[in-house]
Amino acid sequence: MFGDYSLADLSSIFVMQGFAGLILFSVYVLMALGLAIIFGQMGVINMAHGEFMILGAYVTYLCSTFFQTYLPSLFGGYFFVAMALAFLASGAMGMLVEWALIRHLYKRPLDTLLATWGLSLILQQAYRTIFGPREVGVELPSWMMGSIPVTDSIEVQINGLFVIAVTTVITLGVAVLIYRSRFGAQIRAVMSNRSMAGAVGIDTEKVDRTTFGLGCGIAGIAGSAFTMIGSTGPTSGQLYIVDTFLIVVFGGAASLLGTIASAFSISQTQSTLEFFLSGSMAKVLTLLAVVAILMLRPQGLFTLKVRR
């Protein structure tokens, strides 16, 4: 499959596809972070995670139309407002869902799977009713369009760089929150032993609700970033949820570093293979590789070694 390309072409292709993979990686990381936090802490498999992401995408879309119509002079900076609003909207909805639905099902993990799946169907239909079945695209401000030529045959897109930068900042922020802050310590305590965390004085219900909101809020930011690489429709979230689960499981639950490493390897493999093979063949090969590795290492890529 490499035969038709010269060596210089090949290296350019790898760099460009690698960069495209990095953009995909960024969206994956943002999605998987939220999912991993929620799954790690509460053991809840949130099937509606993709819909929380799409909520963020729609918020970004609304924001872009709002700025275009009413504040065209500030259009250049709307994306930052949109990301903040996407975080708040998805986070608030996440907390509402936790309060109304999830907290009643903590003792029945399998039922949360069904319940959140139902929720995802409801949300999809709600998006269809409110925003219409047609996919919507987001207008980017001019400074985010175009690309920077690196060499004659290699170009990197500016919006891609932006997404990568946002992901880096968010990931670092989450890492600091979880590993350096007091709230993070409470999250990890609840993660490691729920009833004991309560017995040392941690309000586990409050931690649960905030964590769920945080995870969903990050998904909202992922949705914001997603508008740059794809168009937003009611069912766009579903395409990503399976990959995201794969990443969380492959990375090893409850390991932030593992999640990042697995998102990186999966998105890069996918993106590079997609150029040479068809999209579905690329997916098949990626999945096969993941299955093979998980058979050898069922605990995922990264795990902490401690006495239990």
What distance lies between CA 176 and its chain's CA centroid?
A: 18
Report in angstroms how near the CB of residue 205 gets to other proteins at its nearest: 8
Q: Are 243 and 28 in contact (CB under 8 A)?
A: yes
Is the Cβ of residue 7 or residue 304 nearer to other proteins in the bound state? 304
Cα–Cα distance measured from residue 27 to residue 225, given in angstroms and rounded to the nearest whole number: 7
Binding to other proteins by CB under 8 A, coded x per residue (else -) over 215-254, reads ---------------------------------------x
Helices (H), strands (E): how many in the chain?
11, 2
Interface residues for other proteins in 5-44 (CB under 8 A)? Answer: none
Contact between 197 and other proteins per CB under 8 A: yes
Is the Cβ of residue 199 or residue 242 nearer to other proteins in the bound state? 199
Which residues, 6 or more positions from 248, have their beta carbon under 8 angstroms from its beta carbon?
Answer: 32, 35, 36, 39, 259, 262
Task: Write b or e for each residue in 79-90: b if 16 or more Cβ atoms lie within 10 A of its Cβ, otherwise e.
Answer: bebbbbbbbebb
Contact between 189 and other proteins per CB under 8 A: yes
Longest CA–CA separation in the chain, Å: 66
Can you read off the two tokens belonging to residue 86?
């996407």
List the one residue from 88, 188, 269, 276 that touches other proteins (CB under 8 A): 188
Eight-class DSSP state of 76: G
Binding segment (CB under 8 A) for other proteins, from list 159-167, 198-206, 210-218, 263-271: 198-206
Contact between 192 and other proteins per CB under 8 A: yes
Report in angstroms how near the CB of residue 306 gets to other proteins at its nearest: 3
Q: Are 184 and 178 in contact (CB under 8 A)?
A: yes
User: Any idea how long the chain is?
Assistant: 308
List the one residue from 1, 7, 130, 200 that touches other proteins (CB under 8 A): 200
Report in angstroms how near the CB of residue 194 gets to other proteins at its nearest: 10
Can you read off the two tokens belonging to residue 85?
């609003």
Is the Cβ of residue 18 or residue 198 nearer to other proteins in the bound state? 198
Is the Cβ of residue 11 or residue 192 nearer to other proteins in the bound state? 192
**Is 140 in a helix, a strand, or coil?**
coil
Contact between 295 and other proteins per CB under 8 A: no
Least Cα distance to 249 among 214, 287, 207, 205 occurs for: 287
Cα–Cα distance measured from residue 181 to residue 197, given in angstroms and rounded to the nearest whole number: 16
Binding segment (CB under 8 A) for other proteins, from list 97-105, 165-173, 196-204, 267-275: 196-204
Can you read off the two tokens belonging to residue 256?
């932030």
Contact between 196 and other proteins per CB under 8 A: yes
List the one residue from 18, 141, 198, 230 that touches other proteins (CB under 8 A): 198
Is the Cβ of residue 83 or residue 187 nearer to other proteins in the bound state? 187
Contact between 186 and other proteins per CB under 8 A: yes
Binding segment (CB under 8 A) for other proteins, from list 158-166, 197-205, 273-281, 293-301: 197-205
Least Cα distance to 16 among 226, 157, 141, 218 occurs for: 157
Contact between 199 and other proteins per CB under 8 A: yes
Summarize as ranges the residues that interact with other proteins (CB under 8 A): 182, 185-186, 188-189, 192-193, 195-205, 254, 304, 306-308
